[in-house]
Structure formats: structure tokens, C-alpha cells
Chains A and B, each alone.
Chain A
Amino acid sequence: MANHLVSKLPKGNWNITVVDQYKTHYYQPGFLFLPFDIYTTKQVKKKGKKFIPKGVNYINEKIELILPEENQVTLENGAVLPYDILIVATGTKIAPDEVEGMDGPEWYKSIFDFYTYEGAKALRNKLREWEGGKLVVHISEMPIKCPVAPLEFAFLADSYFKHKGMRDKVDITFVTPLDGAFTKPKATEALHYLLEEKGIKEVTNFNIERVDYEHNKIIDYADTEVEYDLLVTVPTNMGDALLERSGLGDDLNYIPTHKATLQSKAHENIFAIGDATNLPASKAGSVAHFEAEILTDNILRFIDGKELKEEFDGHANCFIETGGGKALLIDFNYTHEPVEGTFPFPGVGPLKLLKESRTNHMGKMAFRWIYWNMLIKGIHIPFVSATMSEKGKHYEEVQ
């Protein structure tokens, strides 16, 4: 947003300040590859400062409170920053303490997450020496960041153990609170074979109550038990505690946001972007990228006293690794589920939607470069619009 706005706002009239409590900026999609030694730690982190454009102030400090009535932000070091417009981009974090027994004595010993740098790295070290057994890949509750990542993890684990010649020693089970690993009709139809082909078992409608780390099992509210030797879980995802402290969050600390304009529901000069919102869109980097283009327009309209554009349609575009050097691509929004077709050029591709291909995998690998060099810098990706295009997609005609 800073990159977008610095070039569009009249210089001299506006001061843009980015407040970031962290010095390191992580390439979070890379956390999926770190446990399998596909990416190195160096490939997924850079100094945040590097991406701050000229003319923008950068403060490396934790925010104590947002005071919306006073239009102020107070920092932990006591400094007070007044604002005319506030953009909240505090993301989402894992909260393993929400489930009894999860972050107890076995955390990072036999129970891991891969949604943090620390978790992904600890899991990498564990997998390097693990001799096999029951691997359980588990989602605690929805919504989570990058909803397909756990499934990708299960697929990559299958490849990883095959490659190490020990797939027969590993039993992989995918445990989800939803009613399937795939939950939408078209995706289920097109992709369920992947689970069968890779010998991944599914346990569905599993709403975790606690982890019994002494007996290596997870237990749900219906008293269903799943045993594990290695539990790779996606803990409850929650927004930053700052939003709770400031009275701006819902019960998961996400900021109630108008889904088409990205303006917060409670305060007209506060806007939200990315995982920090409560939008019913995917919590994915592509969503934040598309939102940024629309939010930039809306901030400029807000400044000019014009009505905001109700333009954001929930557009998301995600590569899904399926292992063995292949990947899928999905493109969808609030109202359209992922379907088969070609992308970004209708009828041409070169990427195929909802189908496994090596080209899609190359797309996913190229994405790291695109992220560091284009997305953060706010550069538009050619031929990919902020709102979803229906061209080249196989939607059934509405009867």
C-alpha cells in the first residue's frame, strides 16, 4: 500500500508512515517448502526495510494501541502517531494455546506447526531424522491462512517420503473439521483422486477438543480419537492481539470490514487489508495483492470526498502443490467456486485451472521471485486483474 500510495498522493501534502514490529519480512508461502528442504531458510526471509519506498517513514516498533476516537496510534516506546487515515494490515497468527495440550511439553518435539518460520524450521529438522510412523496433518478450525496449505503439506510429504525410499514406513492421515479435504463440488470431483493415488487417509468433521500428548492422540468433541507419532497441525488462526486491545476486532481478532470497499465497519477513516480483515475471502497473499489495487483507488476517493467503489469481489488465485513436481492452479471469488479452464489467456493458458501440470508447478516456483520483486513493490502482474475474470473458465450455465 505504501508503494502504491507514495506515487499517487500529492507530495508535500501527505506523510506516509509504516509501523512494523518485526525487522524481518518472511515469504510465508515458502514455509510450506522449508520442512522438506526444498527451500532454504535464506530464501524465505529478507529485511523489511528493503521494501520501504523512498519518501515513506519506517518505524520498527510495536504498536501499543489504536485509539480510533482520537485518530491516534500509540507505540510501545510511548510515542504517539496521529493519523488522518489508518490502514490495518496486521495479518493473522497461530494460537496453539487455544487447544488444550497443543503447545505443552511436546510442542516442537512431536507436535509442530508449519505456519511460522520457527515451526517450519523445527519441523524440517525433525523430518530429517524421523524414521516413520503415523503422520497426522491436522486443521484445528476454520478460517485459516492459505486454506489449501495443509493439503499441499500432505501431498509434499507423500513425495518427500517416496524420495527418501521410506513411504512404506509412513502412514499419512489428513484430519479436518470440514466435511472433506475438498469441500466444493467441482474440486471434489476433479481432485479427490489425488488422495486415493497418494494413499492419504481422510478423517472429516473432526472438531478438536484436546491433544492428549501423553498418549499421542488428538480427541474431538464427539470423542473420536486419532493417534499420531508426528502431529503437524494448523492451530487456530487469530488476528493480532492489538485489535483486541484496541476494541477493533471480532472474537477472532479480525477487523469487521466492508467486503467490497475494504473500509472498516466501525470507523470510516480506518481501512483493512489482507488477513487482518474478517472478509469471507481466502486468507491468501493473492487476495491482499488484489485488494491493494482496489484499496488504493478507494483511499484516493475517500480523500477526495467521493463515494467508495464497491469493487472487491473476493478474487483469489492460488497454486496448489500436488507433489512430484506438479501443481494445480485455482482462480475464484466470493461467488464463483474454482472450476476447470485456462489462465490467464482464455482458451490458451498457458496455465491450466484445477488440473495438475508441471507448468503450474513452475508457476508456483516462479512466484517467489514475483513476490519479492513485484507483489511487495505494488507492481501490477500483467494480464491478471484485481477482480476475477470469468473468461476461459468452464462454468455451467445457470439453469
Chain B
Amino acid sequence: MKKVIANKEIDVNEEGYLVDFKQWDKEIGECLAGECEIVLTERHWEVIGYIHEKYEKEEPLSIRGIKKSGVINVKEFYSLFPGGPLKKATLIAGIPKPKSCI
């Protein structure tokens, strides 16, 4: 389905996740964060950068991966993206949420 955000039309799925990462930009990220009631700081962007790096390498994201990332510790990750940090961080970063096969 289509959604207009930051004056741009993007394609999202039923849960609001971007369908095509190529449509993502920083402004869209900021607006998506706003919808989650998060104001993005430099720390947030460092984490989003790490998430994009993993996504490009097609490596799955996990909390354990965050722990080993050297970018951020898990407690801080939770405080930056309160309540379901992986779910929210991936939404803002414009990539699919971590999922199972069904």
C-alpha cells in the first residue's frame, strides 16, 4: 500500500514497514521515528548505520549481534528504541522487521 511521508510517496506493508529500501532516506527515517515518538539523535543514527550495514550483507539482526557490534550495548539500545527495539529500529531504518517463515 502507498503512504505519503515527508512529502514523498512510499510503498509500505500492512505493518508500515518499507517494501523497497531504495525509497528510504534520512528524512523518511526521521518521520517514521516521529510516528514511534522517537526523536533521532546522533547515537540513533550510528545504530541505524550498523543496521544498514548488516542488511546490505544480508546478515540477520539479533540482540546478540547488537551486543557484539561494538557500536552500542543492549541496555542503551533498549533506551534508544523503547519497547521492541529491533522492531522499531528496523521500521525506522526502512528494512523488513526480523521475522520467522510464517
* Residues of A participating in the B interface, judged by any CB pair closer than 8 Å: 98, 141-143, 147-148, 177-179, 182-185, 187, 191, 205, 207, 209, 221-222, 236, 250-252, 256, 259, 278-280, 282, 284, 316, 318, 320, 330, 332, 337-338, 399
Contacts and interface: CB of A to CB of B under 8 A. Distances in A.
B15 interface: yes
Contacts of A185: 13-15
A124 B59 CA distance: 35
Contacts of B97: 179, 183
8 contacts: A141-B64, A177-B62, A179-B97, A183-B102, A207-B86, A221-B75, A280-B58, A330-B102
A383 to B, nearest CB: 22
B interface, over-half SS: loop
Interface residues of B, number: 27
Given A187-B102, A332-B101, A278 B1 contact: no
Interface string B1-29: 10000000000011100000000000000
Given A221-B74, A251-B68, A316 B60 contact: no
B102 A280 contact: no
Interface of B: 1, 13-15, 57-60, 62-65, 68, 74-75, 77-78, 83-84, 86-87, 97-102
A205 B83 contact: yes
B99 A221 contact: no
Nearest to A328: B102
Nearest to A144: B100
A284 B102 CA distance: 13
B90 to A, nearest CB: 11
Given A278-B59, A280-B58, A280-B60, A183 B100 contact: yes
A338 B102 CA distance: 7
A221 B86 CA distance: 12
B101 A338 contact: yes
The 3 closest A-B pairs by CB, nearest first: A187-B102, A183-B99, A207-B63
Nearest to A284: B101
A337 B96 CA distance: 13
A320 B100 CA distance: 13
B15 A316 contact: no
Contacts of B58: 259, 278-280
A184 B102 contact: yes
Given A179-B97, A185-B15, A222 B102 contact: no
Given A185-B13, A187-B102, A221-B78, A142 B62 contact: yes
Given A179-B84, A399-B1, A184 B62 contact: no
A280 B75 CA distance: 27
Given A205-B84, A318-B101, A338-B102, A177 B14 contact: no
Given A148-B101, A191-B102, A179 B62 contact: no
Given A205-B84, A221-B74, A178 B99 contact: yes
